[in-house]
Amino acid sequence: MKNLFLDDIRSIDMIYDKSMENEFDIVRTYDEFVKYIKEKGLPAFISFDNDLGLDKDGNVAPDGYAAAKWLVYESGLDLRFLKFKVHSANPVAAEQIKGLLDNYIKHINKESTKAN
């Protein structure tokens, strides 16, 4: 399975080496992100932008933090082995996404260790 790149504007080569372009599928919106994962499963690696522009009605679209929250609180997926990077230019939002995912992954790994 390919890695997943969530960003409304950037291309892969703006963040990663050009040779990695074929290793990613790109989704541009929160809805595309959710649909992709529901249809194809959880990729091994996700690269998150936060600010995803405007929706079709001109309102601020759900962002990368909303996508991370969906993964944690709604997807029901096992995130123990998820690898990710936050490439957002918004430093506050980048820390929110990173903090949410890091803390959740630590929590579920700690709980799974207790269960064994």
- Output the pTM of the full model: 0.93
Count of the separate structural domains present in the chain: 1
Angle at 86 between CA 44 and CA 42, to 5 degrees: 25
Residue 52 confidence (pLDDT): 96
Question: Quick count: other Cβ atoms within 10 Å of Cβ 12?
Answer: 20
The CATH code of the domain that includes 82 is: 3.40.50.2300
Question: Quick count: other Cβ atoms within 10 Å of Cβ 3?
Answer: 18
Helix-, strand-, coil-residue percentages of the chain, each rounded to 5: 50, 15, 35
CB 72 within 8 A of CB 100: yes
- Average pLDDT in the chain: 94
Instruction: Give tens-digit pLDDT for 20-75.
Output: 989 999 999 999 999 999 999 999 999 999 999 998 899 999 999 999 999 999 99
Domain span at residue 55 reads: 3-115
Helix (H, G, I), strand (E, B) or coil at 69: helix
Residue 116 confidence (pLDDT): 60
